[in-house]
Amino acid sequence: MYPQATTSIVTGNRLTLSAAREGDLRARLCARDQQALVELIELTTPWLLGLVHGMLQDHDESEDVLLDTFRQVWDKIDPAGPTGLLPLVFRIARNKAIDRLRRRKRRTALAARWRASAVPEELMTFPETIATPHPGWQVQTQVREALGALPEEQRAVVHLAYYQGMTHGDIAAELALPLGTVKTRLRLAYTKLRASLASLREWVA
């Protein structure tokens, strides 16, 4: 392993490598040398973590971004790429951090929409008698009540799945959640809805 002190320089927010060291690392990464990946991680992690954390202000998310960055470098490294190794690593990390910020913004906006568009009281309770009830209003009442009884995080995934027509993967991306979490919340919501709507078996079948 190269001694880092003689082959890399950190100045402010910039990390530089000697051309020989950078070329060697890139060639070994392209040759699937796992030790080269270890060296790259050890060399760049303090620098990248500081930059990414400055954008996200969240240590766990910053570490996730670094893991995704190094995974992409390992999977996509191109021996003939036009970008130097360090600029490539920086660009990938920065783009992934920006994606996280966008997801966070969407998640915040979605949460605000849910708070603003929570099931209205007038839809949650119906009068004892309705002069001219529309066909199927009893079913709609039960459905609204069942949905309103779900925890907010479960209502959110049901809304996106059924009213927005999103796939599980789309929901995971929209809410910045693991795919498994989305599936679990949907499964729990369906279980509760089936129990709540047991009298409407034909509707929930």
Hey, what amino acid is at 153?
Answer: E
Mean pLDDT of 110-134: 47
Confidence category of residue 130, pLDDT binned at 50, 70, 90: very low
Distance CA 92, CA 10 (A): 19
- Give all domains of the chain, ordered by start, each with its CATH number: 4-103 (1.10.1740.10), 119-204 (1.10.10.10)
**Structure pTM?**
0.51
pLDDT at residue 38 in the model: 94
In the predicted structure, residue 84 carries a pLDDT above the cut 60 = yes
Q: How do beta strands 8-11 and 14-17 pair?
A: antiparallel
Point out which residues pair with 27 in neighbouring strands.
Answer: none
